[in-house]
């Protein structure tokens, strides 16, 4: 039709005044168009020929048949600068609503949506509208359309100033008609509001159908925040001249005696999955790398079915030689984490807001430099709050939570370091306090009253290490390789391991670690 119109115009321009010619041409074009359209409609009605054919349908499966030069605008970028332009975009059919001869639909790409509309007209056939109305939710579609401004902001879309008047729709990848969960339901805020739908999606359904669940704006945000946690952690350590290393997950012996480790069949023998990269980080220190970190999978065969335990998680581990005092290391860890939090607040504002809309929480607070309390101070605070706890007892999980609230009330921080744990509750390789044998040079770090890191100055002297192992009734033959690592000189060092999923969960104030693990593993789940 467009080309016909051009032909009419060209013809009309010959030998006449430009204005008259233009007018005539316009009318001729109009008439021609009308006739054509009438004919098309007649034919469509008579023989069901579709005058929108070629403008919609199921695209042939993409096998990289050709390189299209077509430029594709991202949904988040569609705005006033495109007014009256014809553009191509790709996204998912989020929701659609057919109403008489019209079809409205929302096209979603990641966290952005744009309203699209299609109405039967001279160029849009009934069949086109019907086809579009029948596209299943979550199908990936290519849409061509003209960007138009709207009289009032569209509340239901992220692109509120414009809508797309559709000229072509092609289904790139169709979703099955029945979805095991609806993205809208999975995206609904936790808090119920009067007059709003109460449908929520429970966690098991989400995790069973993670490919759908991960499409919600909240999950898109959570895993970008998680990526930022790792990036900021690495940047802070790279700046401090730490070297990234990679440690083996398959190990020949369980360094802490063999409890809670998974066994692997290894050719004709067997091996274990590492519970921590600690031995290898320490070997890297004994091998002169001075400051190392590693980010990788850590495995715990604990049958703990709680909101904060996973059998496989991502460890942010670091180890560092120091000159005179392990606080050199602890101060480094504190400032690294402070930098991570500040980076998240500065760089992920939008993502944090998105998560908060679905799962409201108080903003995470921290001090710079971070608060460091000694274990006896924590015990004293708990006792003043009425808890019964011995000097050398470890803190129970409820006590940790309570202490978190007490610290928050007293110091105004969700983040603090608890230093100098009782020696009796720490592993054999922990360096005892030089002044008080009941305590040790070890620490835990807390966010919102939950532990995210455990660490210590490690014993770097092989004789003393053997002595401490014997004191713990550990079979020395089983940890020989560990002890031998220190026989050729090793500087004093300290370190710790941080649970990446816990950092993300607690920073965002979420209630379950499965929300910050893309494909969580627990005693009852190893799929998908």
Contacts of a copy of itself in 497-516 (CB under 8 A): 500
Asked if 181 contacts 149 with a C-beta cutoff of 8 angstroms, the reply is no
Output 225 or 399, the one with its CB closest to a copy of itself.
225
Q: By CB under 8 A, tell whether 326 contacts a copy of itself.
A: yes
Q: By CB under 8 A, tell whether 519 contacts a copy of itself.
A: yes
Minimum CB distance to a copy of itself, residue 224 (Å): 6
Output 308 or 414, the one with its CB closest to a copy of itself.
308
Tokens of 473: 């009734």
Query: Between 151 and 170, how does the x/- string for binding to a copy of itself read (CB under 8 A)?
Result: --------------------
Which residue among 54, 195, 386, 528 contacts a copy of itself (CB under 8 A)? 528
Which residue among 207, 314, 336, 337 contacts a copy of itself (CB under 8 A)? 314
Output 92 or 372, the one with its CB closest to a copy of itself.
92
Cβ neighbours of residue 386 under 8 Å, at least 6 residues apart? none
- Burial code (b: 16+ CB inside 10 Å, e: under 16) for 396-409 equals eeebbebbbebbbe
Q: By CB under 8 A, tell whether 280 contacts a copy of itself.
A: yes
Residue keyed to tokens 């770090």: 445
Q: By CB under 8 A, tell whether 373 contacts a copy of itself.
A: no
Give the other-Cβ count within 10 Å of 269's Cβ. Answer: 8
Which residue among 8, 103, 221, 251 contacts a copy of itself (CB under 8 A)? 251
CA–CA separation, 481 and 286 (whole Å): 13
> Phi/psi at 120 (nearest 5 deg)?
-55, 130
Output 81 or 239, the one with its CB closest to a copy of itself.
239
C-alpha 190: how far from chain center: 19
- Residues annotated as catalytic are 300, 302, 308-309, 451, 454, 502
Applying the rule CB under 8 A, the residues between 439 and 468 that interact with a copy of itself are: 441, 457, 460-461, 464
Query: Between 45 and 84, how does the x/- string for binding to a copy of itself read (CB under 8 A)?
Result: ----------------xxxxxxxx-x-x------------
Give the binding range for a copy of itself (CB under 8 A) out of 42-50, 364-372, 445-453, 486-494: 486-494
Asked if 107 contacts 92 with a C-beta cutoff of 8 angstroms, the reply is yes
Which residue among 286, 340, 403, 452 contacts a copy of itself (CB under 8 A)? 286
Output 89 or 413, the one with its CB closest to a copy of itself.
89
CA–CA separation, 373 and 384 (whole Å): 16
Applying the rule CB under 8 A, the residues between 170 and 199 that interact with a copy of itself are: 172-176, 179
Output 14 or 64, the one with its CB closest to a copy of itself.
64
Q: By CB under 8 A, tell whether 289 contacts a copy of itself.
A: yes
Output 32 or 296, the one with its CB closest to a copy of itself.
296
Give the binding range for a copy of itself (CB under 8 A) out of 115-123, 184-192, 372-380, 519-527: 519-527
Output 100 or 267, the one with its CB closest to a copy of itself.
267
Q: What is the DSSP string of 90-120?
A: EEEEEEEEEETTEEEEEEEETTEEEEEEEE-
Kindly tell me the burial class for residue 148, based on how many C-beta atoms sit within 10 Å of its own C-beta (0-12, 13-18, 19 or more): middle
Q: By CB under 8 A, tell whether 485 contacts a copy of itself.
A: yes
Give the binding range for a copy of itself (CB under 8 A) out of 10-18, 48-56, 311-319, 343-351: 311-319
Applying the rule CB under 8 A, the residues between 205 and 224 that interact with a copy of itself are: 210-215, 219-220, 223-224
Minimum CB distance to a copy of itself, residue 370 (Å): 18
Largest Cα–Cα distance in the chain?
A: 110
Ramachandran category for residue 241: left, alpha or beta (phi over 0 → left; psi -120 to 50 → alpha): left
Q: How many residues does the chain have?
A: 528
CA–CA separation, 259 and 261 (whole Å): 6
Sheet with strand 371-374: strands edge to edge:
243-244, 291-299, 312-321, 493-499, 450-458, 442-447, 415-419, 371-374
Q: With helix as H, strand as E and coil as C, how does 260-286 read?
A: CCCEEEECCEEEEECCCCHHHHHHHHH
Give the binding range for a copy of itself (CB under 8 A) out of 116-124, 293-301, 359-367, 383-391: 293-301
CA–CA separation, 364 and 332 (whole Å): 21
């Amino acid at each position: 039709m467009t080309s016909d119109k051009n032909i009419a115009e060209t013809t009309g321009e010959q030998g006449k005044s430009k204005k008259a010619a233009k007018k005539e041409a316009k009318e001729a074009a109009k008439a021609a168009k009308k006739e054509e359209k009438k004919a098309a409609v007649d034919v469509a009605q008579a023989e069901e020929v579709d005058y929108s054919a070629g403008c919609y349908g199921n695209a042939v499966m993409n096998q990289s048949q050709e390189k299209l030069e077509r430029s594709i605008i991202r949904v988040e970028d569609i705005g006033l600068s495109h007014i009256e332009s014809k553009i191509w975009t790709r996204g998912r059919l989020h929701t659609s609503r057919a109403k008489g001869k019209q079809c409205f639909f929302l096209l979603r790409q990641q966290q952005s949506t744009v309203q699209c509309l299609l109405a039967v007209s001279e160029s849009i056939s009934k069949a086109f509208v019907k086809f579009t109305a029948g596209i299943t939710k979550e199908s990936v579609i290519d849409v061509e359309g003209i960007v138009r401004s709207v009289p009032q902001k569209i509340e239901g879309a992220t692109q509120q100033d414009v809508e797309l008047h559709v000229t072509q729709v092609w289904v790139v990848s169709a979703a099955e008609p029945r979805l095991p969960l609806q993205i809208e339901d999975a995206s609904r805020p936790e808090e119920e509001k009067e007059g709003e739908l109460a449908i929520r999606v429970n966690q098991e359904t989400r995790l069973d159908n993670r490919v759908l669940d991960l499409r919600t704006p909240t999950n898109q945000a959570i895993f970008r925040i998680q990526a930022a946690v790792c990036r900021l952690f690495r940047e802070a350590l790279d700046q401090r001249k730490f070297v990234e290393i990679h440690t083996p997950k398959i190990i020949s012996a369980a360094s802490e005696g063999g409890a809670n480790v998974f066994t692997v069949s290894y050719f004709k023998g067997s091996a274990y999955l590492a519970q921590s990269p600690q031995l290898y980080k320490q070997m890297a220190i004994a091998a002169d790398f001075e400051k190392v970190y590693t980010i990788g999978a850590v495995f715990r065969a604990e049958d703990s079915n709680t909101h904060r335990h996973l059998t496989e998680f991502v460890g942010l581990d670091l180890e560092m030689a120091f000159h005179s005092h392990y606080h050199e290391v602890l101060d480094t860890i504190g400032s690294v984490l402070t930098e991570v939090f500040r980076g998240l607040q500065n760089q992920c504002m939008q993502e944090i807001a998105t998560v908060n809309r679905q799962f409201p929480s108080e903003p995470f607070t921290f001090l710079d430099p971070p608060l460091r309390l000694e274990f006896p101070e924590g015990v004293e605070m708990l006792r003043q709050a009425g808890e019964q706890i011995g000097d050398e007892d470890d803190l129970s999980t409820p006590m940790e939570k309570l202490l978190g609230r007490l610290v928050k009330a007293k110091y105004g921080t969700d983040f603090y370091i608890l230093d100098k744990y009782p020696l009796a509750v720490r592993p054999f390789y922990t360096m005892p306090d030089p002044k008080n044998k009941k305590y040790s040079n070890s620490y835990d770090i807390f966010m919102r009253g939950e532990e995210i890191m455990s660490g210590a100055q490690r014993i770097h002297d092989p004789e003393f290490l053997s002595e401490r192992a014997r004191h713990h009734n550990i079979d020395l033959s089983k940890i020989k390789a560990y002890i031998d690592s220190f026989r050729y000189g090793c500087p004093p060092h300290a370190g710790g391991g941080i649970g990446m999923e816990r950092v993300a969960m607690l920073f965002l104030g979420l209630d379950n670690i499965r929300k910050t693990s893309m494909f969580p593993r627990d005693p009852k789940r190893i799929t998908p």
